[in-house]
Structure 1
Amino acid sequence: MSLKHLIQTLLALPLLLLALHGQTATTPPLDPSGGRIEDRQQLRVLLEGMEAGINKLDIDALLKLAQPDVVITWQNAEVSRGHAQVRAYYERMIKGAGGAAIVRKLSTKATLGGPAVFYGDSAVAYGTTVDRYDLADGLAFTLNANWSTTVTKTSDGQWKVASLHFSTNLFDNALLSAAERMVWYAAGAAFVVGALLCWLLMRRRRPG
């Protein structure tokens, strides 16, 4: 895998990580003392819908669960606002230029950091995730990440995603480790080639 492809993959990951807040894999039981039980149940339905959409890489299903002016900050620090920009990001990163996909398969295991915090008709949720990626070129790896989201209630009583933010450890992640291995492999290959060239030059300079 080339370094250029590795960078392209890193840019593609944030969209796929939209599943971070869409998992029901590890959700704490509803606590009646926390109130807003009906709203909390609706939020879980929303998260289940996000999970189903991401497992199918169905951008249309995901956008139906987002506010029209949703703001998403991806892991490469790029920001998309509104459905059109989110879709454009998907087309560019997931399908790739000329229809060349980067990611072949994705599975996500997410955990809520705690109960959602409500502010009137808005709520904030956060947590962590462990994501498994299988890329089109055969590379497979697991990535640990964090997520946070703000959801708001529409005039007809539906909860939808208003903002979404992703983050991974800049100094300790699977792609960084892969890049470091590539550097060591390249350095080792360069050393071997250099040593071989020196040996050949020395042989040619020896007197007949």
Structure 2
Amino acid sequence: MRQIGIGKLTRNFLLGALLVSCGWTWAATAPVLDPSVGRVEDRLQLRTLLDQMEKAISNLDVEAAIKQMQPDAVVTWQNAEVSRGPEQIRAYYNRMLKGGAPIVKKFSTKATLGGPAVFYADSAVAYGTTIDTYELSDGLSFQLKAAWSTTVTKTDGQWKVAALHFSTNLFDNALLNSAERLIWIAGAAAFAAGLLLAWLGLRLTRKK
């Protein structure tokens, strides 16, 4: 009985250490992991996986991201383009960030878990939000608040991303707000130009 008690104490201590270390890594971006929800070890592995994905994306390290994915993983990007498998994912990355005329100069993301992952045998669904910071090659900089979801599957004891989806609010985002401001500025400029032309027209008419 004493040996069993010590074994349980040791397991609880190790579990507590894992929870603390995981909580330290995800302190600002994930809810506290509740052991009562079950599958604690799998949940810890998923948090490590998502942490590695976040770092890879923020570091613009496409190869590190691909290592966390299944061979036929599907990614739906922020611009609604879909890539399947390593070659298409690399192609998207190179077009957007590399080459002679890249669209994006710098990019970083901060991901937050929305809640406990939902498990279905050897697959799970996780979700949350991101704050994405962009600097485009044309000089435009902005932040987008986005949502993400991912399906992960377990193969040979390892969790890998099978699908990853990003989306943003169609009706309230930084690009839309910038476009609206430009429309207002253009409208105000056109109105001012119209007033100036009308004034000049009246002046010319009076001189005649």
Q: Does the alignment reach a TM-score above 0.5?
A: yes
Shift of 1:168: 1.2
SS at structure 2 position matched to 1:172: coil
What is the root-mean-square deviation in Å for CA atoms of aligned residues?
Answer: 2.1
- 2:49 matches 1:52: no
Where structure 2 has 5 or more consecutive residues not aligned to the other structure, the ranges are 1-24
Aligned residues of 2:112 and 2:128 also touching (Cα < 8 A): yes
Return the TM-score normalized by structure 1: 0.78
* Identity %, equivalent residues: 69
- Hey, what does 1:99 align to over in structure 2? 100
Please list every run of at least 4 consecutive aligned residues from structure 1 whose deviation after the TM superposition is greater than 6 angstroms: none
The 3 A distance-change label for structure 1 pair 161 and 108 is same
- 2:198 matches 1:195: no
CA offsets 1:129-169 (integer angstroms, 9 cap, x no match): 22233334443322211111000112x22211101111211
| Larger relative contact order (CA 8 Å, sep ≥ 6) | 1
Shift of 1:195: 2.4
Return the TM-score normalized by structure 2: 0.78
SS at structure 2 position matched to 1:26: coil
- 2:101 matches 1:114: no
User: Which letter does structure 1 place at the counterpart of 2:29?
Assistant: T
User: Which letter does structure 1 place at the counterpart of 2:199?
Assistant: W
Where structure 1 has 5 or more consecutive residues not aligned to the other structure, the ranges are 1-22
What are the residue-to-residue correspondences of 1:54-73 with 2, within 5 Å?
A: 54-73=57-76
Number of matched residues? 183
Aligned residues of 2:96 and 2:104 also touching (Cα < 8 A): no
- 2:43 matches 1:40: yes
- Hey, what does 1:176 align to over in structure 2? 176
Look at both structures and tell me which one has the larger radius of gyration over its CA atoms.
2
- Hey, what does 1:12 align to over in structure 2? none
Give the Cα separation in 1 of the matches to 2:205 and 2:91: 61
